[in-house]
């Protein structure tokens, strides 16, 4: 038996040594069913011959020799019609039947025809539904042992067939050959309905199912329909939630290997497909083709509900989900719902805090590569999309379209709680978060909460102290560009928004809206601690900081602390000594315009605010409220020495000088001394009048 034929002159021991570890694993990984399938081919006690490359067994040495031609790669028999090559003459003959077009073997169940009887037999197994060959690694079942064996090559990871042009590797030679047709650029099979071309006839056949509109394969879980059973099977993996293919670079998971492979091209950064019109690059040819439809301007798919048009059918289908109102995918962290699983996944990246895409120019980071690309357009400064009505320019067409809704004045989305209307559904949704009261994003430095992550990020810039946007006219700096833009309107002097009730004008429409709430008299926001009411929620929030006692903003010059950064800034003007606002009647100067306006009321003699307890009248509402503290006993300051009550800490401090004999404040003109700075200032007015 040892003298019998050994392939290529190798002994059995040498054959065993030459088998690689991967080949041994593949050989050992064959399921019990595939091993059972091999048994009928060898009789008991009969010598068998195995292939050193793949481990396949043969009863006769001649069959093994014929088989080994596959691994040698030699294909001496070529088809003169299409150029396809084969290792054996019989295989060429079988192939040539395809070109004849004769398909005498038809399936009685579905009518599909075949050129060979064995092809029909193999096809009929699909209708039987029996798949006796299962993969031990992923559980996938196959109707034939050969199909299982081909499938198991995917798990081995071995891809011996590589494309010389792009380096893509494949597990099987026929997959490489099919792939190489893409580089040739030849697409001989065209669709008569839409003109789309394909490299293979089966691709054309698959495409034509789309035009038929027949989708016999439906998902039992969500009702989605598909033209092919394979597409349904791929879809059902989404509902299982099992994603076996992970990206080693970013950790993103995929349900299918091809999904992972397409994703990995993003990390490589190589984009071989360029648009001739705008220069945009893509990693895949189909992505470029889809993009080019934008430039054509053709949008054959229209929404029957709102009239919006799209270049692709799937874009229309995605859009129609908005009208359905069904949002089956919810975020476990904030409760936000989405119409598609992909949108939920993108949203969840916000909560993870991972932002792997950074801008090289300003360092800003993003969760998605598309967001980074959109952001980079800002640095370029190129704004190709202009509004015909107001001349405003935009970097993206979608931004222009959104802007144009303002000019139309049509606001189709209304809030059921307060009646406020919006031009976009997204703006309505953002607004509704205010009514919900949910503020899931909190600042670690001051505890302030926000309904959206973007608002928190904008707020955190305040604590950083960085104000990169400066006004060229007055030098005032801002943390955000929109803050500077709003400020610049003040210098223009234009106040296009006027109040119909009192005639007061404003530079911004939102400022007018806030002002009009004052006239309504509605104060829906009340303080739980003292009962004080406010017209706006931010007014209540600012007030509540007083009760907390937290004053995080301190003056570097005198140490005085404030609850708000704006109050600190106002206070620091006092130290500067600059008082640009002067009273034309008495010449008194003030650091701020608001103080001047309050002062002017004193000259008018009008005291519109009176005390309900004692009838005392005041020119300013704030003075009246401070006075009321004495009657109510709330928030009053008491003197430790005489028990006298004061409405403010400043009044108490002034009073404490009366209990002291020290007179540290001296007049520079007459050297008279005083107990308090207030008394000194009052005295110095005598010298100025002289």
Question: What's the average model confidence in pLDDT over 310-339?
Answer: 85
- In whole angstroms, give the CA distance from residue 542 to residue 534: 10
Is the pTM for the entire model greater than 0.85?
Answer: no
- Range 326-382 classified under CATH 3.40.50.970: no
Question: What's the average model confidence in pLDDT over 580-608?
Answer: 85
- In whole angstroms, give the CA distance from residue 67 to residue 69: 5
Burial class (CB within 10 angstroms; exposed 0-12, middle 13-18, buried 19+) of 654: middle
- In whole angstroms, give the CA distance from residue 226 to residue 317: 13
Question: What's the average model confidence in pLDDT over 522-542?
Answer: 84
Exposure letters 207-241 (e unless 16+ CB within 10 A, then b) = beeeeeeeeebeeeeeeeebbeeebbeebbebeee
CA 68 to chain centre: 53
pLDDT digits (tens, 9 = 90+) for 265-309: 888 777 888 888 888 888 888 888 888 888 888 888 888 888 888
Lowest mean pLDDT among 39-53, 157-171, 395-409, 660-674: 39-53
Q: Distance between terminal CA atoms of the chain?
A: 136
Lowest mean pLDDT among 26-30, 171-175, 578-582, 620-624: 26-30
* Residue 40, pLDDT score: 42
User: 471: which 2 tokens?
Assistant: 């006004």
pLDDT digits (tens, 9 = 90+) for 178-235: 888 888 888 888 888 888 888 888 888 888 888 888 888 888 888 888 888 888 888 8
Q: What is the DSSP letter of 672?
A: -
* Residue 690, pLDDT score: 54
Q: Assess whether pLDDT exceeds 50 at residue 378.
A: yes
Question: What's the average model confidence in pLDDT over 322-337?
Answer: 85
User: 558: which 2 tokens?
Assistant: 């005198």
* Residue 46, pLDDT score: 58
Backbone angles phi, psi at 129, to 5 degrees: 80, 0
Q: Assess whether pLDDT exceeds 50 at residue 36.
A: no
User: 610: which 2 tokens?
Assistant: 């009176």
Q: Assess whether pLDDT exceeds 80 at residue 24.
A: no
Q: Assess whether pLDDT exceeds 50 at residue 654.
A: yes
Q: Assess whether pLDDT exceeds 70 at residue 547.
A: yes
Give the chain's mean pLDDT. Answer: 81
Percent of the chain with pLDDT over 90: 0
pLDDT band (50, 70, 90) for residue 37: very low
pLDDT digits (tens, 9 = 90+) for 61-91: 888 888 888 888 888 889 988 888 888 888 8
Strands (E), 36-115: 49-50, 57-58, 77-78, 85-86, 105-106, 113-114
Going from the C-alpha of 549 to that of each of 462, 544, 564, 629, 651, the distances in angstroms are 21, 9, 12, 18, 19
pLDDT digits (tens, 9 = 90+) for 453-505: 888 888 888 888 888 888 888 888 888 888 888 888 888 878 888 888 877 88
Percent of the chain with pLDDT over 70: 93
* Residue 31, pLDDT score: 38
Helix, strand and coil in the chain, % to nearest 5 = 45, 15, 45
pLDDT band (50, 70, 90) for residue 614: very high
Exposure letters 124-139 (e unless 16+ CB within 10 A, then b) = eeeeeeebbbbbeeee
Q: Assess whether pLDDT exceeds 70 at residue 136.
A: yes
pLDDT digits (tens, 9 = 90+) for 571-591: 888 888 788 888 998 988 888
pLDDT digits (tens, 9 = 90+) for 92-114: 888 888 888 888 888 988 888 88
pLDDT band (50, 70, 90) for residue 689: low
- Helix or strand or coil: residue 102? coil
The DSSP annotation for 138-167 comes to: T--EESSHHHHHHHHHHHH----EE-TTT-
The domain ranges of the chain are 7-72, 326-382
């Amino acid at each position: 038996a040892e003298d019998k034929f050994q392939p290529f002159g190798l002994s059995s021991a040498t054959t065993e040594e030459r088998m690689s570890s991967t080949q041994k694993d593949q050989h050992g990984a064959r399921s019990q069913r595939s091993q059972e399938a091999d048994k009928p081919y060898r009789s008991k006690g009969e010598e068998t011959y195995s292939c050193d490359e793949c481990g396949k067994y043969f009863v006769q040495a001649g069959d093994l020799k014929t088989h080994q031609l596959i691994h040698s790669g030699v294909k001496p028999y070529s088809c003169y019609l299409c150029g396809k090559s084969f290792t054996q003459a019989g295989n060429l003959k079988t192939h040539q039947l395809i070109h004849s077009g004769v398909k005498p073997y038809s399936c009685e169940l579905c009518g599909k025809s075949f050129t060979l009887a064995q092809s029909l037999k193999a096809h009929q197994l699909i209708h039987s539904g029996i798949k006796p060959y299962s993969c031990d690694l992923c559980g996938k079942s196959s109707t034939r042992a050969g199909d299982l064996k081909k499938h198991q090559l995917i798990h081995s990871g071995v891809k011996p067939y590589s494309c010389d042009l792009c380096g893509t590797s494949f597990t099987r030679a026929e997959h490489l050959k099919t792939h190489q047709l893409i580089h040739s650029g030849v697409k001989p099979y065209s669709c008569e309905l839409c003109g789309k071309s394909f490299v293979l006839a089966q691709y054309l056949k698959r495409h034509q199912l789309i035009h038929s509109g027949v989708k016999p394969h439906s998902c039992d879980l969500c009702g989605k329909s598909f033209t092919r059973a394979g597409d349904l099977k791929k879809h059902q993996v989404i509902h299982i939630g099992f994603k076996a293919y992970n990206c080693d670079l970013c950790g993103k998971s995929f349900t299918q290997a091809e999904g992972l492979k397409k994703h990995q091209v993003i990390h490589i950064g190589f984009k071989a497909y360029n648009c001739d019109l705008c220069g945009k690059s893509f990693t895949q040819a189909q992505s470029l083709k889809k993009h080019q439809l934008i430039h054509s301007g053709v949008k054959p798919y229209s929404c029957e509900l709102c009239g919006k048009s799209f270049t692709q059918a799937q874009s229309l289908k995605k859009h129609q989900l908005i009208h359905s109102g069904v949002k089956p995918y919810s975020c476990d962290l904030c409760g936000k719902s989405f119409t598609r699983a992909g949108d939920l996944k993108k949203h969840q990246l916000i909560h993870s805090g991972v932002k792997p895409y950074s801008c090289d120019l300003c360092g800003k980071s993003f969760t998605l590569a598309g967001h980074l690309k959109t952001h980079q357009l800002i640095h370029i400064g190129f704004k190709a999309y202009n509004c015909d009505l107001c001349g405003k320019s935009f970097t993206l067409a979608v931004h222009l379209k959104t802007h144009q809704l303002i000019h139309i004045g049509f606001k189709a989305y209304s809030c059921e709680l307060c009646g406020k209307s919006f031009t976009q559904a997204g703006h309505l949704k953002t607004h509704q978060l205010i009514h919900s009261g949910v503020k899931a994003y909190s600042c670690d430095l001051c505890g302030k909460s926000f309904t959206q992550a973007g608002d928190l990020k904008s707020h955190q810039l305040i604590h950083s102290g960085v104000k990169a946007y400066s006004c060229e006219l007055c030098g005032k700096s801002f943390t955000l560009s929109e803050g500077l833009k709003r400020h610049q309107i003040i210098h223009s002097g234009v106040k296009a928004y006027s109040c119909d009730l009192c005639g007061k004008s404003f530079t911004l429409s939102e400022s007018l809206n806030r002002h009009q709430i004052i006239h309504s008299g509605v104060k829906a926001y009340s303080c739980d601690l003292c009962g004080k009411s406010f017209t706006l929620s931010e007014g209540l929030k600012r007030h509540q900081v007083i009760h907390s006692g937290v004053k995080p903003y301190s003056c570097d010059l005198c140490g005085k602390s404030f609850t708000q950064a704006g109050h600190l800034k106002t206070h620091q003007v006092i130290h500067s000594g600059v008082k640009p606002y002067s009273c034309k009647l008495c010449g008194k100067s003030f650091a701020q315009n608001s103080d001047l306006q309050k002062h002017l009321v004193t000259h008018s003699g009008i005291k519109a605010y009176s005390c309900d307890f004692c009838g005392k009248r005041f020119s300013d509402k704030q003075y009246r409220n401070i006075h009321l503290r004495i009657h109510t006993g709330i928030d009053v300051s008491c003197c430790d020495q005489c028990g006298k009550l004061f409405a403010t800490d400043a009044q108490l401090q002034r009073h404490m000088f009366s209990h002291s004999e020290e007179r540290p404040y001296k007049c520079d003109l007459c050297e008279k001394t005083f107990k308090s700075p207030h008394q000194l200032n009052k005295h110095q007015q005598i010298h100025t009048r002289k």
